[in-house]
Chains A and B, each alone.
Chain A
């Protein structure tokens, strides 16, 4: 079963609003083992010029997955998720996420490439505040290994 190239350029619905919380940021920072106080201590974050604790640079993936998951899991796309590994990831930031942000994410399939038995799927996910301010865009490339 091959991938459905008709999905190239397809944009998926905007996710429900996600509220970035101090407790989730602290949990994430703990899980990646990063002791930076700006992820936990509001006073430290404010001393560094931020309105509240900020999120680590890879935190947006937590929000982006809800959007890109719609694309990846769409049965019409024909991706065999059991054979998928993460190939590349890139973010472009307008600013760090901080506690209190209410954001949505929207994904577009921006690339489908087949090289031999390997399929590469790139999704572009834009994260904006409820007011429409751009926070960051994530570009994720998944690689589906072919059947041996």
Chain B
């Protein structure tokens, strides 16, 4: 948790430090159970390959959750989001090894709006792939 950010201190154009979040096969098994999304491509590489994927892939919503954590940790308030939207531009491929994959999220303060709202532009990468594009969050700050 970072300390809460105040609206007055936010400067448009500021680039926020990137944060890397790990994802392993265990992460996906846990996310299947917690979310109720048991789509086979998230845990069975035989089926994933049979439908043309390189390997098991993470749930898009798992990746979005990492971006959500990035924003709420920056804001210092997990309930600060007013709007949150992402586009899943490539899958996060999760190999069956002890390391898994990494999701690197970065953000930029794009704009300050009335009502103490701030717009963040977000991107996420995994390896060479951009996995989230045209993504943004609007948070309300104190």
Contacts and interface: CB of A to CB of B under 8 A. Distances in A.
Contacts of A39: 78
A67 to B, nearest CB: 13
Contacts, number: 108
B46 interface: no
Interface residues of B, number: 37
A46 interface: no
A27 B82 contact: no
B139 to A, nearest CB: 10
Contact of B33 (A31, A38, A57, A96): A31
B34 interface: yes
Nearest to B71: A57
Contacts of B66: 32-33
Interface of B is mostly: mixed
A32 B33 contact: no
Interface string B48-62: 000110000001111
A82 interface: yes
Interface string B69-104: 101110001110111111110010000000000000
Contact of B65 (A38, A50, A58): A58
A90 B30 contact: no
B35 interface: yes
B31 interface: yes
A86 B82 contact: no
Interface in A86-104: 86-93, 95-96
Given A33-B27, A58-B61, A96 B79 contact: yes
A62 B35 contact: yes
Contacts of A54: 78-79
Given A58-B61, A58-B65, A86-B60, A30 B87 contact: no
B13 interface: no
Contacts of B59: 86
Nearest to A29: B34
A3 interface: no
Contacts of A139: 85
A77 interface: no
B51 A82 contact: yes
A34 interface: yes
Contacts of A50: 79
Contact of B86 (A37, A48, A85, A89): A89
